[in-house]
Structure 1
């Protein structure tokens, strides 16, 4: 038995133990989005009940932000006050949409929990958005109320009256008649109104990042999100059972489990994998207002953080920070890198900086409520190029352009069927019909599941470059490029060519003396010649990314075209 076979065998045995009849994560079948799927029998029926598990943690610290500290009791008392305000003062009824437009603050978390507790539909908005983007989402969702900070209030204040939307302002002063201060909203008694919530009721509309065109509102039910949270917890148990040695070291370290929240709360990774899971599990969440590796290190040292989760670029920046060596990171065990493909050298970087690390990655998307596959601990060490093994309630396969399933190891479009899939794109019936087919989400990602059950995500379909009939996946080339010691960031894409159809191009941000010819020679040592870019652009600063850390390839490509 080789190492990969052994870890997959351990994961399979743990799955059998935890999901068998009578076990905590017992599997059953249910109807979701019109089809029969596997689901967890014991998962909470709605998000309110899922989050109420956090009330049992009482005086433990739930959230920190700078020098502010909130216990679980503090947190839920504020939730109940705000829930009372929503129903008694604002007449929010089940199904009413309530938006959140602010940076990562404790108030964001409290508002979210209060909205879903009274049957409202939470609508997290991209805090990087400007007036047009924010107004579009508020209009599209039909939001009756928006929780915001002062910066977002300034952007949307002129539109509130015409939208028929009221604002509750945290960390700022109401500047228009349609706004209430956060402290006034929390002046109500801590008495949560009793509201009936069905598992099939909508709980959230989360807008996609919108790297192309207008963002789409992925609308999820209480049932789907509760199943997603339960699945996250199961995957954590499975990995712990399959990695007993490193888990033993973590448990004997003396450090309480705690997470640095460095990714946006308006994204599934920040909202689910950090905030909601920690709230249920009684773990501390320390908020970073915006990403800065040096500030992150300060919080890790001060709060004795054990878990860091970010996109690969953030994890690399943290580990390569000049201050890493002088910061006390002895509490740090778990390092997650998701949201986009992990470069090949990330594994070596993690283990060189944190020898006792428990790293991980995974695959999920907004449309699946972050559920798909997971790769942590020994599985990540052995197969860092993969996105892990598929969750028990998930079906995943690659299909050809005609929709036919492909055999293991053959790449095609990945499709996912799960009880966690969102119900629809809000107000977009045509886009819904194109993406959600017979219970399957068509992801737009090229990938495959190999013979060992590991998921491989090759690239986005729209990012694939066809050069003289040869398919080139930019992610592969970017992974090799970013392993070069002089390259900090790289984006690879196609440019029009009169003979070849497309030619491969790259924009690189690196050391001042980085040389494209040297990079070409380096790539030729590792890749086939047709995968080596022929057009290069050196960037004087970091490459454009959206709020969730993904490269804005369209903007980067257009900048290259404009420079020619």
Structure 2
């Protein structure tokens, strides 16, 4: 079937939606950046959109149900306590270190509504990684669950950080300088939201740590304006795609199931925080939340809660559709599927065609540094060019550049640079990286790709030494730094290996010191005590020869990949 006319339909819808006086009118500021005129001025204004839905059901988690009104009552109480009990003030950083729980969303909404700075930490990390995030950000308070608390409790006095402990378990009783979450909230229930510390705009409101190409994560700094423009851009794409795909929308509306979303990706990523949490909060849609990914449990939730929308890493969508129980349960409500966080492999498309051929499929391209904004591809656009990341967002400027900095023409592959009001302000306390990657309003994404003559973006790979495993970024330098602590190891290199399920996985090549002896299992155990499970190498090779290097002493990882590609 020919889907090429989707290009003109998308263009017509874009013109209609972004024209002067239209809901998504675009204006160009004095800084040369394009913005949605009617976007909220602050995160508080953006989040308060959800208050109008009152008693409608918002959140379902592990048998608990909360309305929008109940959610905001708890958010307001927490904001009150942040100011009056925890003494948080303008510019203070407040960290979140917990898995997917309702409390995560309450903390996020309270902190950003006050205009303080929220610091979502990767909850899959262990003590070393969590300590780094708290110390680097200078957080004054951290909200954590029991497992994360056990990792950081001993370091809190040194860090000068107070802890608020949610979801207490038998192994994590509150210690000195630690407050229990519900005990903090209870006295303030019914209190109104305190005044904001600032009026939004360019004020810093979020530091989200992201895996980079150097040894430690970097804190991506976003202002209110960066995030509100990004969220409105999500809403623009949803409406634009609906206008361009009227048949699909008609099928969804005729199903009789109100839109509802299954949240199974981490809230500490932009995909979970923005595309699921904030969009559903603003849109008045039910959000069914999973603590961690389990395809069998997901199928049960889809059937019981009549879920219509599920967006996750392609590997998660694939495992859901291919699960033996998928067709034995009533999953007929499921209509919209999205694969984000990683390039969609062929198996993703094949699984959808085989198991849910009438679904409304989408993917996209963005990153933490662009606040998940660049290109989107949904419905017939996905069917037309399934290998693309979709059409460019109307508030994003796109360039590809050669290695020597020359700007390339459309269709020419090169390093992708983006200019947008959604781009972060830079990295927290990383002057050198900021000078290198943010130039004259443009941001170096670290990706290689191109844009074609119809405005579709194609991403071909990474220009930097980064591994993306099922949507999770892994930086080899961090693993290599851990290995440097093993006295038996002389040198080591982590390489990216293709994987049919995750897209990429890390492989590890190790040269031991003369006279030393180690087994692969010893190395795995050592790393397992220090790194999150998703970062652990899938393959480990011990070699006698030194690692190959160029004249400057840099390890030739392409040569290692060629040698060990049969893994």
Q: Which SS does the other structure have where 2:208 is aligned?
A: strand
CA spacing shift, 1:232–1:548, aligned 2, 3 Å: farther
Cα offset for 1:198? 2.9
CA spacing shift, 1:490–1:229, aligned 2, 3 Å: closer
Q: Give deviations 1:216-267, integer Å, cap 9, x for gaps.
A: 0000000110000000000000100000001111011111111111100000
Structure 2 contact 27–37 (Cα < 8 Å) conserved: yes
Aligned to 1:519: none
Q: Give deviations 1:58-109, integer Å, cap 9, x for gaps.
A: 1111111010011000000000000000011111112110000000000000
Aligned to 2:402: 400
- Alignment coverage as a number of residue pairs: 493
Q: Select the residue among 58, 74, 96 that pairs with 1:100.
A: 96
Q: Does 1:193 align with 2:194?
A: yes
Aligned to 1:300: 302
Cα offset for 1:348? 2.9
Cα offset for 1:180? 0.6
Aligned to 2:354: 352
Aligned to 1:178: 177
Q: Which SS does the other structure have where 2:51 is aligned?
A: helix
Cα offset for 1:165? 0.9
Structure 2 contact 117–204 (Cα < 8 Å) conserved: yes
Aligned to 2:33: 37
Aligned to 1:82: 78
Cα offset for 1:428? 0.6
Q: TM-score, normalised by structure 2?
A: 0.83
Q: Give deviations 1:27-79, integer Å, cap 9, x for gaps.
A: 10125xxx421111100001110000000011111111010011000000000
Aligned to 2:477: none
Aligned to 2:438: 436
Aligned to 1:118: 114
Which stretches in structure 2 are left out of the alignment for 5+ residues?
468-494, 510-527, 545-563
The 5 A counterparts of 1:147-162 are 147-162=143-158
Structure 1 contact 267–548 (Cα < 8 Å) conserved: no
Q: Does 1:234 align with 2:236?
A: yes
Q: Select the residue among 230, 251, 254 that pairs with 2:253.
A: 251
Cα offset for 1:3? 3.8
Q: 1:254 & 1:37 partners in 2: Cα distance?
A: 41
Q: CA RMSD in A?
A: 2.5
Q: Give deviations 1:117-158, integer Å, cap 9, x for gaps.
A: 111100000101111111111011110101111111111111
Q: Select the residue among 163, 174, 188 that pairs with 2:159.
A: 163
Which stretches in structure 1 are left out of the alignment for 5+ residues?
466-473, 483-487, 497-543
Cα offset for 1:300? 1.0
Q: 1:548 & 1:139 partners in 2: Cα distance?
A: 19
Q: Does 1:132 align with 2:131?
A: no
Cα offset for 1:491? 3.9
Q: 1:396 & 1:52 partners in 2: Cα distance?
A: 32
Aligned to 1:470: none
Structure 1 contact 257–284 (Cα < 8 Å) conserved: yes
Q: 1:232 & 1:391 partners in 2: Cα distance?
A: 9
Aligned to 2:12: 13
CA spacing shift, 1:547–1:453, aligned 2, 3 Å: farther
